[in-house]
């Protein structure tokens, strides 16, 4: 019985083997908790100020350009600078933006435009930081523990995503926006302190300076790898068509369940946590491309069902299933990225990865807000879910190498395993 239980519980090997992994795990948990408080408070504050779904969805448009520009630059920077410094400085910048949110919310009449300015700034700093964070993981965790690390990282993220939005809805409702933003400020302050304890992560010898040519080199590599291309395309399509978070305040109104707003934001994360808590089996999976495809398809189907049902409890259950599908797809994507990308291109490819899983949601918010203004909230949600399901099927058919990817036989995965083995041998020697 004990062995069967251990087979499904999360694999804790990365936690035991890497001090920096433990630091990043705790730091991320603290940051996510505060960030999700702000993630709920900001769109709700825009709704309170404007009562417009388009105004809420416009956050995605404001965040898009900074994310694209700084995400690509951040990838090149992660290959040429100390990744620890990039993470630390960007985390401090995010803390300053949280202070601005708090100050604006304390004004007698809070202003609308600072919310969009902060949203753009957060997008820019996140674009700079994420490639450094993502590319650091493959350096601090052994190759055969990458899937386990991805599962633990997702569990950390989803724990914050469950607790943060659920509490944020209550905090905003009973204590106001300033209290939610104050929690965000405290979270970033604690996170900065923990980031100072990370070990230095200097670039590879002879690493090029950030440049358009270097960014283009990373893009050419990604374009030449159908498996990587498939992970990017499916994730972007799924998020563009079926990311309804901007509509949750209006969906809660439509269902006469304003009390459930925080639960709507948290429900998807509950599904992801359930998968993470039973993810021991994932370390034995070899066909990670199939996880990407089937997980994204499940996400789209569940979102379509959430838009169709008129019972708030049925909607919440559908969102739980959607989160489980997204988690499966995310496990597959993260493992493929870490198993196949060479170290010298890891930062630039991480920049492209940031775009693949961030641009989609930003555009998805714009799509959802615009369509809801035209057709209504629920049709905008269920039609997007069906479009996601169709696009995932078409992409899987167009990129068959993604479905046949095998970690034991893929040439890039084998080269990356050998590369890391050589570096470990040099370190021991």
Residue 6's pLDDT band, with cuts at 50, 70 and 90, is low
pLDDT 10s digits, 286-320: 888 889 999 999 999 999 999 999 899 999 999 99
Residue 313 has a pLDDT of 94
Q: How far is CA 290 from CA 136, 330, 340, 428, in A?
A: 25, 11, 16, 36
What is the average pLDDT across 255-282?
A: 82
What is the average pLDDT across 103-119?
A: 92
What is the average pLDDT across 136-158?
A: 80
Residue 4's pLDDT band, with cuts at 50, 70 and 90, is low
pLDDT exceeds 90 at position 165? no
* Burial class for 425, CB neighbours closer than 10 Å (0-12, 13-18, 19+): exposed
Residue 8's pLDDT band, with cuts at 50, 70 and 90, is low
pLDDT 10s digits, 202-213: 887 777 787 778
Question: How far is it, in rounded angstroms, from Cα 335 to Cα 138?
Answer: 10
Residue 104 has a pLDDT of 94
Dihedral sign, Cα of residue 364, residue 357, residue 21, residue 145: positive
Residue 412 CB: number of other CB atoms within 10 A?
17
pLDDT exceeds 70 at position 184? yes
Radius of gyration for the alpha carbons in the chain, expressed in angstroms and rounded = 21
Residue 420 CB: number of other CB atoms within 10 A?
18
Question: How far is it, in rounded angstroms, from Cα 188 to Cα 191?
Answer: 5
Residue 323's pLDDT band, with cuts at 50, 70 and 90, is very high
pLDDT exceeds 60 at position 428? no
| Between 158 and 12, the higher pLDDT residue | 12
pLDDT exceeds 80 at position 358? no
Q: How far is CA 165 from CA 56, 293, 320, 381, 391, in A?
A: 17, 28, 14, 20, 29
- Report whether 171 contacts 179 (CB < 8 A): yes
Residue 393 CB: number of other CB atoms within 10 A?
14
Residues sharing a CB contact under 8 Å with residue 394, sequence separation 6 or more, in sequence order = none
Question: How far is it, in rounded angstroms, from Cα 387 to Cα 313?
Answer: 24
Q: How far is CA 426 from CA 135, 166, 421, in A?
A: 20, 48, 9
Mean per-residue pLDDT over the chain, rounded: 84
What is the average pLDDT across 73-94?
A: 90
- Report whether 71 contacts 347 (CB < 8 A): no
H/E element, 381: helix 377-398
- In 3D space, the residue among 349, 340, 343, 342 whose CA is nearest the CA of residue 409 turns out to be 340
| Between 263 and 393, the higher pLDDT residue | 393
Question: How far is it, in rounded angstroms, from Cα 327 to Cα 318?
Answer: 14
What is the DSSP-derived secondary structure letter of residue 100?
Answer: H
Residue 423 has a pLDDT of 57
The structure's pTM equals 0.68
For 347-388, give the DSSP string.
HHHHHHHHHHHHHHHHHHHHHHHHHHHHH-HHHHHHHHHHHH
């Amino acid at each position: 019985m004990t062995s069967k239980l251990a087979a499904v519980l999360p694999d804790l090997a990365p936690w035991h083997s890497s001090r920096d992994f433990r630091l990043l795990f705790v730091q991320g948990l603290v940051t996510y908790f505060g960030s999700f408080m702000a993630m709920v408070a900001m769109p709700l504050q825009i709704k309170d100020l404007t009562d417009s779904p388009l105004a809420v969805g416009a956050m995605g448009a404001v965040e898009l350009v900074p994310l694209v520009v700084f995400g690509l630059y951040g990838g090149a920077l992660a290959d040429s600078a100390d990744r620890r410094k990039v993470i630390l400085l960007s985390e401090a910048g995010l803390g300053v933006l949280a202070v601005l949110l708090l100050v604006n919310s304390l004004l007698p009449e809070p202003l609308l435009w600072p919310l969009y300015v902060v949203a753009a700034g957060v997008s820019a700093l996140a674009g700079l930081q994420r490639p450094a964070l993502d590319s650091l993981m493959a350096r601090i965790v052994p190759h055969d523990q990458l899937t386990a690390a991805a599962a633990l990282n997702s569990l950390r993220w989803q724990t914050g995503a469950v607790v943060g939005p659920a509490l944020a809805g209550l905090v905003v409702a009973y204590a106001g926006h300033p209290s939610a933003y104050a929690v965000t400020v405290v979270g970033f302050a604690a996170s900065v302190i923990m980031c100072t304890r990370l070990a230095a992560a200097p670039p590879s010898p002879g690493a090029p300076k950030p440049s358009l040519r270097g960014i283009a080199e990373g893009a050419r590599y990604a374009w030449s790898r159908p498996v990587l291309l498939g992970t990017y395309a499916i994730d972007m399509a799924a998020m563009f068509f079926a990311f309804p978070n901007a509509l949750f305040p209006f969906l809660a109104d439509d269902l006469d369940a304003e009390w459930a707003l925080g639960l709507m934001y948290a429900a998807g994360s509950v599904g992801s946590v359930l998968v993470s808590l039973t993810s021991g089996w994932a370390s034995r999976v070899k066909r990670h491309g199939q996880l990407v495809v089937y997980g994204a398809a499940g996400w789209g189907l569940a979102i379509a069902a959430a838009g169709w049902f008129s019972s708030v409890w049925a909607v919440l259950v559908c969102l739980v299933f959607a989160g489980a599908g997204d988690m499966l797809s995310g496990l597959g994507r993260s493992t493929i990225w870490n198993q196949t990308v060479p170290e010298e291109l890891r930062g630039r490819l991480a920049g492209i990865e940031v775009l693949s899983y961030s641009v989609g949601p930003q555009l998805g918010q714009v799509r959802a807000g615009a369509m809801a203004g035209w057709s209504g909230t629920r049709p905008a949600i269920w039609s997007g879910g069906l479009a996601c399901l169709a696009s995932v099927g078409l992409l899987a058919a167009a990129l068959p190498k993604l479905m046949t990817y095998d970690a034991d036989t893929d040439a890039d995965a084998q080269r990356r395993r050998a590369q890391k083995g050589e570096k470990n041998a040099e370190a021991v020697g």
